[in-house]
Amino acid sequence: MEVALEDDRAVAYEDDREVAFEDDGEVPTDLGESDDEESDQENNIESTSLASDLATWATYCQVKNNAVDQLLKILQNHGHSDLPSSARILLKTPRQVNTTQKSGMEYLNYPLRDTFLDTLKKYPFEQLSDCDTVNLSFNIDGLPLFKSSGKAMWPVLCAVHLKPITVSPITLTCGNKRPTDLHFLDDMVADLNDLLSSGLQHREKTFEVNVLRIVCDAPAKAFVRNTKLCSGYYGCDKCTQKGQWFSRVIYQETEELTLRTDEAFRHQTQEEHHHGNTPLLNLPIDMVKAFPIDYMHQACFGVRKKLLLIWSRGEKGCRMSVTQIQEVSSRLLHLKPEIPSIFSRKPRGLEELERWKATEFRQFMLYTGKVVLVLQCGNVHFSELYDSQAVFTIRSTTTAVLCCERTGAL
């Protein structure tokens, strides 16, 4: 099941065929062929091994359609006249998808049972014969589609935890901004409840289904659980503590906390935490533990970014000197050639701190920070601050930011 995210800007031509624009605005050039010709070519793909290999390659390597078009023309000019003339035919891209309206968005649902069964069929049955329970996890999040418009997609993705993990879309909603309510989750919840109660039959074996977790970033988690945002006074999704206002809401105290429980969440014991009900309450999951902490926003963009901003741009007496900031930046840049390709980004200097990506904060927190912060400013040892904060961050990744009393006073 493939979804071409860039295909939403469709234009109807005179012959009523829809032609999808690429994200860069280019129009496929092969507009002259009829539907019959395309259908014939699609049918031929099954028997043409080169075409099916090319289709696999283009999908696996995520090659753009205009590049595949050019390659097909070259191959046709060199004797492969049996190949289709466009990427759309080669990849059998659906020309039209029937959507409905739900939650104020265009809505498309793939039945979970069928999707799950298609996924299981991809695995050798010998691999499945040893397993009675298949674990699933879900991801719900909003994806902006274009920089030039507010159009966004809210997919619900399902991961099947076999080796290798397979991820498939279950629900796709597309529209401006975000869904107006949570009804776009209704079908997914109903399908999942059906699977959880009756399991899945595959080749005379019934597999039990288990939900491991529902993964969302902090804003999406608050949205789908219908609770306050994590920046609100009662926004913490793990405990009932009320935050305090220090230019923004933060959660400082870490003693005598009452942890949230599934039962308390379902009864909305702390009313201030909730906006209302959510379809996810109909699932037999722990509404607190099933939603992991959002590591990216809370550890990388939260604790780590805040500390680096304090250390480089905070009040006098706690921040590094200009020379030290330059020294740290210089050390980071010197590490560039030593960073193996397994990291998606190389280090950048502190002067670009506002533009650091989450992966750069993670790299600093776990790897490079310890090396580049070996310096002292007055009686502040930044490498010691790094040590205490890093251990804390890795273990808890909560919003109680500053474990050092000195910086905690800022």
Amino acid at 121: K
Start-to-end Cα distance in the chain: 51
Whether 168 contacts 157, CB under 8 Å? yes
Number of residues that bind Zn ion (CB under 5 A): 4
Q: Is 239 or 375 the residue whose CB approaches Zn ion more closely?
A: 239
Annotate 184-214 with DSSP letters as a single string.
GGHHHHHHHHHHHHH-EEETTEEEEEEEEEE
Shortest distance (Å) from residue 204 CB to Zn ion: 48
Coil vs helix vs strand at 73: helix
Shortest distance (Å) from residue 298 CB to Zn ion: 11
Contacts to Zn ion from residues 204-263, by CB under 5 A: 236, 238-239, 241
Instruction: Quote the tokens at residue 50.
Output: 């080169």
Which distant-in-sequence residues (6+ apart) come within 8 Å of 69 by Cβ?
Answer: 28, 29, 30, 85, 86, 87
Q: Is 269 or 383 the residue whose CB approaches Zn ion more closely?
A: 269
Q: Is 173 or 389 the residue whose CB approaches Zn ion more closely?
A: 389
Q: Is 238 or 348 the residue whose CB approaches Zn ion more closely?
A: 238
Q: Is 137 or 241 the residue whose CB approaches Zn ion more closely?
A: 241
Whether 217 contacts 297, CB under 8 Å? yes
Nearest to residue 238, comparing CAs of 301, 298, 278? 298
Amino acid at 364: F
Which distant-in-sequence residues (6+ apart) come within 8 Å of 143 by Cβ?
Answer: 5, 152, 153, 154, 155
Shortest distance (Å) from residue 117 CB to Zn ion: 40
Cα–Cα distance for residue pair 334/347, rounded to 1 Å = 9
Amino acid at 186: D
Task: Please give the helix or strand (H or E) that residue 281 lies within, else none.
Answer: none
Q: Are strands 205-215 and 133-140 parallel, antiparallel or unpaired?
A: parallel
Coil vs helix vs strand at 86: coil
Amino acid at 7: D
Beta bridge partners of 380: 377
Q: Is 60 or 246 the residue whose CB approaches Zn ion more closely?
A: 246
Shortest distance (Å) from residue 402 CB to Zn ion: 15
Find out whether the peptide bond into 155 is cis, omega within 30 degrees of 0.
no
Q: Is 88 or 260 the residue whose CB approaches Zn ion more closely?
A: 260
Contacts to Zn ion from residues 122-181, by CB under 5 A: none
236 phi, psi to nearest 5 deg: -65, 125
Per DSSP, 177 falls in state S
Q: Are strands 105-109 and 166-176 parallel, antiparallel or unpaired?
A: antiparallel
Q: Is 198 or 254 the residue whose CB approaches Zn ion more closely?
A: 254
Q: Is 182 or 249 the residue whose CB approaches Zn ion more closely?
A: 249
Shortest distance (Å) from residue 292 CB to Zn ion: 14
Q: Is 248 exposed, middle or buried (0-12, 13-18, 19+ CB in 10 A)?
A: exposed
Q: Is 241 or 298 the residue whose CB approaches Zn ion more closely?
A: 241
Per DSSP, 352 falls in state G
Residues contributing to the site for Zn ion (CB under 5 A): 236, 238-239, 241
